[in-house]
Chain A
Amino acid sequence: MFTYAIYQPLKTPLHALNPAAKLALTLTVMIVMLATSSLIIGLGILGVVVGLLATARAPLGRIFPFVRAALALSVIFAISWLVFTHDGRPVFGSWGPTDRAVTAAAVAGLRVLVMVLASALLLFITSETELLQGLRRLRVPYIACFTLMLTLRLLPSLSEDLAVIRQAQMCRGFELQRGSFLERAKRSITGVVPLVAIAFRRVDTLARALESRAFNVRGMHRTTYRQDVLRVTDRLILAASVMFIVAFIVLRP
């Protein structure tokens, strides 16, 4: 089953960073990868991400669902470029994909791989609470950060609910994975209806829990237990991230 909570509280230089610096670091990697169309720079960025994952001591088993998704999607992206790009010279003499299509396909595949691995890195080194702090530091409104965090908390339980619903249906002889595309699509509704019904039964309980903690009460200033301190390293990373992003967008190497 899919899990979003891959965070591990380890003692590594990356885990010790301020959440805002962690966010800036991973977002910079993604934006730089989007800004470049060079295969060599792309490979360099992939190397940086793999290096960062090694520094964070991320075990492959923990990030495997992300890697698997990234590899599958990279192939789809690459095939699309190979099929639909006709500029340049054909690689096999007079037929086959062109040299430009091959380069573009490789860059597009790399882009997907880097984006997904950088996202996995962020989730591995940042806890949910830290993510909230980091977003607050980057001036995202509290209510938006809180909603995002609440969604993150709800994801595993809803994934579990969906898995239980599907297993219960399969126990009754319902075949979800067999049949044509249309048949499978039609059958998917049998999982969606109970999932929505079960999820929204929680509305009142959750709302009461929030209200009992004086959530979003007018005129109240929220304080946090942990103080968010930016150290020299964090400030340097934030400054370097901004400079890197600006340079890459302006120069577009």
Chain B
Amino acid sequence: MVTPTGAMAEERPQRGRVGAIQIVIVALSSAIYAVLGIAGATFTVAPGGIVIFYLPAIFIYPAAIWFGAWGVLGAFFGTLLFSPFFGYGFALGVSFAIVNMISPLVVGLWQRALHVNPAVVTSRRDFILFAVSVIVGAAIEAVIGNGVLLVFGLTSVGGLPFSTFVWWTGEVTAGIILSPILLRVLTPQFKRMGLFHQSFFGTQRGARIIG
């Protein structure tokens, strides 16, 4: 049977089955991530495409909160596509595509585990929890990402602290300052469109998690 979308899907959701809507969400998230990545390449200050202000981070944290794992996958395909523009080509792009999924994964899982309201600016508690998740996620990602750069000989041991710090700062600046704006403005719209995914790895949609 063909899975219906829109209103009908809300009435008769199919458990555990990846539908066309999930594929489209991944593709759109990936395309937005790639476009923002290429547009933000002007902020590059360190090797490996490490930018002082990581533009795709503005979008990918909210995407992980709205769409769960489907949003996080956007970081994978998006990184793969903009990898030639950050100097590591498609071969290394796969490694960085996996690395770039770490921080949205941490943020998305954290939000679900602590039942944080997706529109994080509605209360101080929600915003602080969101900010902490971004700080922790970005730190893990920066350390692993720079480890990969070192293994492939794209950065030197001496340059590691600098590039790790810039990577972390680039993600945190974009994530903490600008992602909440996106969440506040677009959360109600996606709520109306029924694009929220009820569980992080699930395919069920609806606004149950908003509370």
Interface residues of A (CB under 8 A from B): 2, 4, 26-27, 30-31, 34, 37, 66, 69-70, 72-74, 76-77, 80-81, 83-86, 104, 107-108, 111-112, 114-116, 118-120, 122, 143, 146-148, 150-152, 154-155, 158-159, 162, 181, 185-186, 188-189, 191-193, 195-197, 199-200, 202-204, 206-208, 210-212, 214-218
Contact across chains for B35 and A158 when beta carbons are under 8 A apart? yes
Q: A151 to B38, alpha carbons, bound, how many Å?
A: 14
Whether B136 is near chain A, meaning CB under 8 Å from some CB there, is: no
Interface flags, B14-32, vs A, CB<8A=1, else 0: 0001111101111110111
Q: A118 to B174, alpha carbons, bound, how many Å?
A: 31
Question: Would you give the shortest CB distance from A93 to chain B, in whole angstroms?
Answer: 22
Residue in A26, A31, A189, A214 whose Cβ sees the most chain B Cβ within 10 Å:
A189
Return the chain B residue nearest A160 by Cβ.
B35
Contact across chains for A80 and B87 when beta carbons are under 8 A apart? no
Return the chain A residue nearest B6 by Cβ.
A204
Contact across chains for A214 and B156 when beta carbons are under 8 A apart? no
Contact across chains for B185 and A211 when beta carbons are under 8 A apart? no
Q: A82 to B178, alpha carbons, bound, how many Å?
A: 35
Chain B contact residues, majority secondary structure: helix
Q: Which residues on the B side are within 8 Å of A116 (C-beta)?
A: 84-85, 87, 89
- Pull 27 A–B residue pairs with CB atoms less than 8 Å apart, ordered by A: A30-B89, A30-B91, A34-B152, A34-B153, A76-B46, A76-B87, A80-B163, A84-B157, A84-B162, A108-B47, A111-B153, A111-B154, A112-B154, A115-B92, A118-B89, A147-B26, A148-B80, A159-B35, A185-B173, A188-B40, A191-B39, A192-B182, A203-B193, A206-B20, A215-B23, A217-B1, A218-B17
Question: Would you give the shortest CB distance from B82 to chain A, in whole angstroms?
Answer: 9
Q: Which residues on the A side are within 8 Å of B40 (C-beta)?
A: 188
Return the chain B residue nearest A193 by Cβ.
B185
Q: B156-208: which have CB < 8 Å to A?
A: 156-159, 162-163, 173-174, 177-178, 181-182, 185-186, 189-190, 193, 195
Contact across chains for A195 and B32 when beta carbons are under 8 A apart? yes
Whether B143 is near chain A, meaning CB under 8 Å from some CB there, is: no
Q: How many interface residues does chain B have, given as a range?
A: 35 or more
Contact across chains for A154 and B27 when beta carbons are under 8 A apart? yes
CB within 8 Å for A203 and B28 given contacts A30-B92, A77-B47: yes
Q: A188 to B193, alpha carbons, bound, how many Å?
A: 25
Q: A135 to B30, alpha carbons, bound, how many Å?
A: 18
Contact across chains for A216 and B182 when beta carbons are under 8 A apart? no
Interface flags, B49-73, vs A, CB<8A=1, else 0: 1001101001100000000000001
Contact across chains for A26 and B55 when beta carbons are under 8 A apart? no
Contact across chains for A189 and B182 when beta carbons are under 8 A apart? yes
Contact across chains for B27 and A150 when beta carbons are under 8 A apart? yes
Whether B78 is near chain A, meaning CB under 8 Å from some CB there, is: yes
Question: Would you give the shortest CB distance from B175 to chain A, in whole angstroms?
Answer: 12
